[in-house]
Structures are given as structure tokens and as C-alpha cells.
């Protein structure tokens, strides 16, 4: 196809497909630095790897906590102002964030820019709001599974690209490349024909307290699940070093562990969402907890990477089922649900790095045991408030 025809093709593209394209580009831009932030802080800002790991956890806590607080607001803004305008605003915010981190000279700068990133509520909030506005309620789980698979594919490919760029040009150039890619996304979003704001539709209704009550169980479950999904991200490099990997090979092994875990998650997400029922969701969470606990006993990097692949595949089926479990979810509702994701992403890395401390035994064991416990609690909660409740309702009907 002639490149001059590309804008017309984008305008004619089905919005669900367009959402996948934008999500992929956003995920690549967001994840170029992936799990390498501790290595950047260590090599460019002069911290030991264990201290860099701790500061990465702090930055993740700040960013994800603010995303959790602001996601409902940005979801509401999508309903009131329109997805397209809010998406462009959030993209511009991320351009500033990554350009700023590329020029950072102190760890406080990293924390501040990550905090600024958090105030924009996360692009995934806007993307989920877009999907919920164009997909019928009965197809929402399926659509979100593809959206999350695409998100994960972007985060899968990006660390590989970022790892090569970081090894050839340095971490700062890689951070700057994320800002440049966000700039390139703006024209793509600008020419897409997105649905009008929810508030301007004739059948629109406000998000009420009853709506919030109906999604509250899934909100709590998502916090627990994402705490278990995200906890290990800032500790991967340190853990691989503790298994005997030389410092100069940490970038390679960190990339492998991150990419393969993401691949397993991305491939398994649509499949697991299709075949897993509400009644089997707690079983997935129990399985993830067992695999997380097994990670504490690995003795070489191959075992560690194999378990990361297994954990990614097991966890893949849970989030789409929780996110798409209720009908009539628009911007505000998806904002609250995405807020739960971000809160879990904030708690997980910070809790893990805090428990890990200086890395001396038995702190690593305590870290994995705590996250295993969180996964088991998630299983119990999903069963009691999601699966068991639905079964009782089915019997009454």
C-alpha cells in the first residue's frame, strides 16, 4: 500500500483494531527501559545495585500510587470530554516525563518525573475506556483480553529493543527514544475517528454509587492480583546476580527473563480468557502462588526464567475476567478498575523491595513467601466475592 494511503486506511480502521494498534505503540514506548531502571540508576547515578533496586521500588510506588488515585478522574474525563482529547493530553505528558528522565542527574529527578507520569492516570485507563465504549458488553472480556495481550506484546518486544539500544547507545538515549516514539504516536491518534464523549450520547447515564458497589469486589481482587504480578520487576537483576550471573551479563539475563515472561502472558491471555470460567479463577491464583513460592528455591538462572514463564502463563487469565466481568462499563468504571491495577503495581514492587532490604537471607525467602500468601488471599477473595456469589445467584435463578 502507498504510504500516502495510510491516513485513509487508519480512518477506515475498525476502532477495536485501531485501539490494538495504538496500545501496541504505547506499550513499546512505555517499556523500552522495562526492567533496566535499576541498572540505569546504578550505572549512571552511582548507586549500588541493591540501592538502585530499592529506589526503583520507591519510584514505582510513587508513580503507580498516583496513577491509582487519578485513573478514575481521567476515566471520567474520557466520558465528559472525549477519549481522543484525553489520549493526546496523556501522550504529551509522557513525552515530558521520558525526556526529563533522560536528562536526570539525581535520583530525586527520577522519582519526581515518575510522579508526574502517575498524575496522568496511565494511558491504559484511556485505552480501556475506548474499548469499553465501542465493544458490546457481552464481548468485553474477549476484547480486553486482546487489548491486554497487545499491551503485553508491546512490553515484550520493547525490553529486547531497549536492551540492544542500552548496550549500544546507553540508558539515557533509550529513555529519550521513548519520548520520541510517543511523539510519533500523536499523528496516528489525531487521524482516528473515535466515538463522541459518553456525556453527549442520548442514552448516556451517570456513573452512580451503585455502579461502584457492583465493581468493588473486582477492584479489590485486581489490587491483590497485580500486587503478585508486579512485585518481582525491580528485583530481577538483583536476584539473577545472587544466582551467580556476572554484572556484565545482567542486562542480557534480565532481558531474557522479562521478555519470556511477557511472551507467556501475551500468548496465554486470549486463550485463558476464553477457556477459564469464573469458577476456575481461584485455581489460577492458587497455582500462581505455588509457582511464586517455588521461585525462592531456584539455584540457577534457567530455573528462574522457566518459572517466570510458567507464572506469566498462569496469571494471564485472571485480569481480563475481572476487568470485563460487568456490563455497561464506560470511562469512569474502567478508571476505577484500572486504578486497582495501578494500586497493585504500586504495592507489589515497593513491598517486595522493602522486604528484600539488603538482600541477606532469609529476606529473599520472606519476599517470595509474602507474595505467595498474597496470591492465596486473592484466590480466597475471588472465590468468596466473585465465584461463590455468582454460583448462588445462578442457583436462585
| Residue 146, number of CB atoms within 10 A of its CB | 19
Provide mean pLDDT across the span 248-257. Answer: 87
Mean local confidence (pLDDT), 263-270: 90
pLDDT for residue 137: 76
Residue 107 above 80 pLDDT? Answer: yes
Q: Say whether pLDDT at 327 is over 90.
A: no
* pLDDT of res. 274: 84
Average pLDDT over residues 373-395: 74
Angle value at C-alpha 78, between 114 and 31, nearest 5 degrees: 35
| Residue that has been written with the C-alpha cell 550471573 in this structure | 245
pLDDT band at 382, cuts 50/70/90? Answer: confident
pLDDT for res 145: 87
Do 303 and 105 form a contact (C-beta atoms < 8 A)? Answer: no
Lowest mean pLDDT among 33-42, 180-189, 224-233, 299-308: 33-42
| Stronger pLDDT, 326 or 168, i.e. the higher one | 168
Task: Please give the average per-residue pLDDT across 48-67, as a whole number.
Answer: 86
Task: Give the pLDDT of residue 376.
Answer: 94
pLDDT of 98: 93
Q: What is the pLDDT of residues 122-165, one digit of tens each?
A: 788 888 888 887 787 778 888 888 888 888 888 778 877 888 88
- Whole-number pLDDT of residue 252: 87
**What confidence category does residue 396 fall into, taking pLDDT thresholds of 50, 70 and 90?**
very low
Range from 56-65, 75-84, 337-346, 380-389 carrying the lowest mean pLDDT: 380-389
Nearest Cα to 71, choosing from 344, 348, 378? Answer: 344
CB atoms within 10 A of CB 20: 21
Contacts of 311 (CB under 8 A, 6+ apart): 261, 264, 288, 291, 292, 295
- Residue 293's pLDDT is 97
Interacting residues of 187 by C-beta distance below 8 A, sequence separation 6+: none
| Least confidently predicted of 230-234, 366-370, 371-375 | 230-234
Three-class HEC string of the chain: CCHHHHHHHHHHCCHHHHHHHHHHHHHHHHHCCHHHHHHHHHHHHCCCHHHHHHHHHHHHHHHHHHHHHHHHHHHHHHHHCCHHHHHHHHHHHHHHHHHHHHCCCCHHHHHHHHHHHHHCCCHHHHHHHHHHHHCCHHHHHHHHHHHHHHHHHHHHHHHHHHHHHHHHHCHHHHHHHHHHHHHHHHHHHHCCCCCCCHHHCCCCCCCCHHHHHHHHHHHHHHHHHHHHHHCCHHHHHHHHHHCCCCHHHHHHHHHHHHHHHHHHHHHHHHHHHHHCCHHHHHHHHHHHHHHHHHHCCCCCHHHHHHHHHHHHHHHCCHHHHHHCCCCCCCHHHHHHHHHHHHHHHHHHHHHHHHHHCCCCCCHHHHHHHHHHHHHHHHHHHHHHHHHHHHHHHHHHC
Write phi, then psi, for 8 (nearest 5 degrees): -65, -40
Average of per-residue pLDDT values in the chain: 84
What average pLDDT does this structure show over 380-391?
71
pLDDT value at position 4?
46
Residues 215 and 333: beta-carbon distance below 8 Å: yes
Region 185-211 average pLDDT: 73
Asked if residues 139 and 8 have their Cβ atoms less than 8 Å apart, the reply is: no
Residue 109 has pLDDT above 90, yes or no: yes
Question: Would you say residue 328 has pLDDT above 60?
Answer: no
pLDDT on residue 297: 96
User: How much is the pLDDT for 60?
Assistant: 81
pLDDT at 208: 80
For residue 329, the model assigns a pLDDT of 53
Q: What's the pLDDT at 81? A: 87
Please determine, for residue 308, whether its predicted confidence score (pLDDT) is greater than 90.
yes
More confident residue, 329 or 159: 159
∠ at Cα 33 (27, 38), nearest 5°? Answer: 140
* Structural domains of the chain in order of their starting residue, each with its CATH number: 9-192+207-396 (1.20.1250.20)
pLDDT score at 326? 55
pLDDT of residue 63: 87
Among 90-104, 119-133, 264-278, which range has the highest average pLDDT? Answer: 90-104
Distance in angstroms (rounded) separating the CA atoms of residues 330 and 239: 40
HSE value, Cβ hemisphere, 13 Å, CA-based, for 330: 22
Q: Which residues contact 103 (CB under 8 A, 6 or more apart)?
A: 109, 172
Amino acid at each position: 500500500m502507498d504510504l500516502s494511503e495510510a491516513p485513509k486506511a487508519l480512518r477506515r480502521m475498525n476502532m477495536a483494531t485501531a485501539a490494538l494498534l495504538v496500545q501496541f505503540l504505547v506499550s513499546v514506548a512505555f517499556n523500552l527501559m522495562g526492567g533496566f531502571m535499576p541498572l540505569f540508576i546504578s550505572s549512571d547515578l552511582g548507586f549500588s545495585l541493591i540501592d538502585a533496586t530499592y529506589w526503583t521500588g520507591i519510584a514505582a510506588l510513587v508513580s503507580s500510587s498516583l496513577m491509582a488515585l487519578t485513573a478514575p478522574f481521567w476515566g471520567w474525563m474520557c466520558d465528559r470530554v472525549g477519549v481522543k482529547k484525553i489520549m493526546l493530553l496523556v501522550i504529551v505528558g509522557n513525552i515530558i516525563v521520558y525526556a526529563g528522565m533522560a536528562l536526570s542527574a539525581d535520583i530525586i529527578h527520577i522519582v519526581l518525573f515518575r510522579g508526574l507520569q502517575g498524575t496522568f492516570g496511565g494511558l491504559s485507563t484511556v485505552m480501556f475506556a475506548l474499548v469499553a465504549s465501542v465493544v458490546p458488553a457481552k464481548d468485553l472480556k474477549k476484547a480486553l483480553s486482546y487489548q491486554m495481550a497487545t499491551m503485553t506484546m508491546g512490553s515484550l518486544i520493547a525490553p529486547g529493543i531497549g536492551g540492544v539500544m542500552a548496550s549500544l547507545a546507553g540508558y539515557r538515549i533509550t529513555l529519550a527514544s521513548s519520548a520520541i516514539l510517543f511523539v510519533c504516536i500523536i499523528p496516528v491518534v489525531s487521524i482516528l475517528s473515535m466515538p463522541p464523549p459518553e456525556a453527549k450520547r442520548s442514552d448516556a447515564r451517570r456513573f452512580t454509587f451503585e455502579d461502584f458497589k457492583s465493581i468493588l469486589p473486582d477492584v479489590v481482587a485486581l489490587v491483590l492480583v497485580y500486587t503478585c504480578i508486579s512485585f518481582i520487576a525491580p528485583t530481577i537483576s538483583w536476584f539473577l546476580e545472587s544466582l551467580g550471573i556476572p554484572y556484565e551479563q545482567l542486562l542480557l539475563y534480565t532481558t531474557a527473563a522479562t521478555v519470556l515472561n511477557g511472551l507467556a502472558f501475551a500468548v496465554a491471555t486470549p486463550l485463558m480468557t476464553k477457556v477459564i470460567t469464573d469458577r476456575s479463577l481461584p485455581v489460577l491464583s492458587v497455582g500462581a502462588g505455588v509457582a511464586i513460592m517455588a521461585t525462592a528455591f531456584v539455584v540457577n538462572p534457567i530455573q528462574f526464567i522457566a518459572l517466570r514463564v510458567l507464572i506469566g502463563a498462569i496469571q494471564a487469565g485472571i485480569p481480563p475476567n475481572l476487568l470485563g466481568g460487568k456490563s455497561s462499563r464506560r470511562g469512569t468504571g474502567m478508571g476505577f478498575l484500572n486504578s486497582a491495577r495501578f494500586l497493585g503495581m504500586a504495592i507489589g514492587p515497593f513491598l517486595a523491595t522493602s522486604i528484600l532490604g539488603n538482600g541477606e537471607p532469609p529476606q529473599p525467602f520472606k519476599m517470595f513467601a509474602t507474595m505467595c500468601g498474597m496470591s492465596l488471599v486473592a484466590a480466597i477473595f475471588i472465590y468468596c466475592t466473585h465465584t461463590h456469589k455468582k454460583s448462588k445467584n445462578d442457583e436462585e435463578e
